[in-house]
Amino acid sequence: MAARKSTAKSNVSAEELLSYYRDMLLIRRFEEKAGQLYGMGLIGGFCHLYIGQEAVVVGLEATAKEGDKRITSYRDHGHMLACGMDPKGVMAELTGREGGYSKGKGGSMHMFSKEKHFYGGHGIVGAQVPLGAGLAFSDKYKGNDNVTFTYFGDGAANQGQVYETYNMAMLWDLPVIFVIENNKYAMGTSVQRATKSPSLWERGAAYGIKGEEVDGMDVLAVKAAGEKAVAHCRAGKGPYILEVMTYRYRGHSMSDPAKYRTRDEVQKMRSERDAIENVRELLLQGKHASEDKLKEIDRDIKAIVNEAAEFSKESPEPALEELWTDIYA
């Protein structure tokens, strides 16, 4: 199959553009704060930050409607914020407190919100892929036109269960969008060291699944590709694959010294391709927003994040009886 890369961009209003800026910035500031709380020992264990990848989830959420579902890996904070979950509840889960989405029993990697149709937060690389197809199966079975966004990494894309799922998703025309967040690394292994496939989305062709590569540092390009995928799924045409090219600025998790790439590589991405900076420039150049307006947004977001951090420190640890609850329904 010929290489295909979408260059389409969504036409959006200034208001929409401003909202993407806001949503991306919220994720960035939230994650920076999470990193800070980790450094202070308030967050423990594994903590995988989404800094750098914000445009992926914000662009795709812009195409979702009520009832659409989403599921992802452990690198899940951004997805939760983007689908409207409360930053306080997310941060308090990171600190393992009663006010967290899972009452402190799930942690960074395992959070859920039935209300927002967010189905986790999964710690086993690749496991969310058939789970996401199963969610899509439930919508098709019920006869509605909802779709499921199933996010996974470039590393996860090498798991066997992904291909078992592609096969069944296509066989049964499941309304699932497979979103490969290709951030170039799976922990310390670059994509090139894990596969000789020139592209990951093209593997869907073996199962008859359409797909495309998308510039994940451009929120408008992501949105445009998302719209196409969503329309395809809603029309009952089966699954769709988006390989979204993105980059994580931080280490794999908080304890990763990231020696497998150069500082220059990271710096280049940050200074030349940063998704938030790009939108900021678009807003200013097009005179869609003033410096002051953007400063105001920055301040609002800082306040939201600080409030979330305060809440996550003040919320008590779960009651000891919680050890024994929620094992069986």
Partner 1 sequence: MATEVLMPALSPTMEEGTLAKWLVKEGDTVASGDIIAEIETDKATMEFEAVDEGVIGKILIEAGTDGVKVNTPIAILVAEGEEVPEEGAKTETAPAPAALNGEEGKTAAPASAAPAPEAPKPDTSPDWPEGTEMKSQTVREALRDAMAEEMRSTDEVFVMGEEVAEYQGAYKITQGLLDEFGARRVIDTPITEHGFAGIGVGAAFGGLRPIVEFMTFNFAMQAIDHIINSAAKTLYMSGGQMGCPIVFRGPNGAAARVGAQHSQCYAAWYSQIPGLKVVMPYSAADAKGLLKTAIRDPNPVIFLENEILYGRSFEVPDLEDFTVPFGKAKIWREGKDVTIVSFGIGMTYALEAAEKLAEDGIEAEVIDLRTIRPMDTDAILASVMKTNRLVTVEEGFPQGSVGNYITSVVMEQAFDYLDAPVINLAGKDVPMPYAANLEKLALVTTDEVVEAVRKVTYR
Instruction: Tell me which residues touch ligand TPP (CB under 6 A).
Output: 73, 75, 123-125, 153-156, 181, 183, 185-187, 252
Residue written as tokens 């306080």?
A: 88
Contacted entry of partner 1, Mg ion, ligand TPP, none for residue 302, CB cut-off 5 to 8 Å set by kind: none
Q: Considering the complex, what minimum distance in angstroms separates the CB of residue 46 from ligand TPP?
A: 8
Residue whose CB is less far from Mg ion, 111 or 186: 186
Q: Considering the complex, what minimum distance in angstroms separates the CB of residue 300 from ligand TPP?
A: 28
Q: Considering the complex, what minimum distance in angstroms separates the CB of residue 129 from ligand TPP?
A: 10
Element holding 200 (H helix, E strand): none
Find, among 118, 103, 188, 177, the residue nearest to 154 by Cα: 188
Radius of gyration of the chain (CA): 19
Find, among 217, 203, 144, the residue nearest to 174 by Cα: 144
Residue whose CB is less far from partner 1, 78 or 121: 121
Q: Considering the complex, what minimum distance in angstroms separates the CB of residue 78 from ligand TPP?
A: 11
Element holding 121 (H helix, E strand): strand 118-122
The residue with its CB nearest to ligand TPP is: 153
DSSP secondary structure letters along 46-79? -----TT-HHHHHHHHTT--TT-EEEEES--HHH
Q: Does 153 bind Mg ion (CB under 5 A)?
A: yes
On whether the CB atoms of residues 156 and 166 are closer than 8 A, the answer is: no
Residue whose CB is less far from ligand TPP, 23 or 243: 243
Contacted entry of Mg ion, ligand TPP, partner 1, none for residue 58, CB cut-off 5 to 8 Å set by kind: none
Q: Which one of residues 31, 61, 76, 154 is an interface residue with Mg ion (CB under 5 A)?
A: 154
Residue whose CB is less far from Mg ion, 78 or 153: 153
Fill in the DSSP letter of residue 168: H
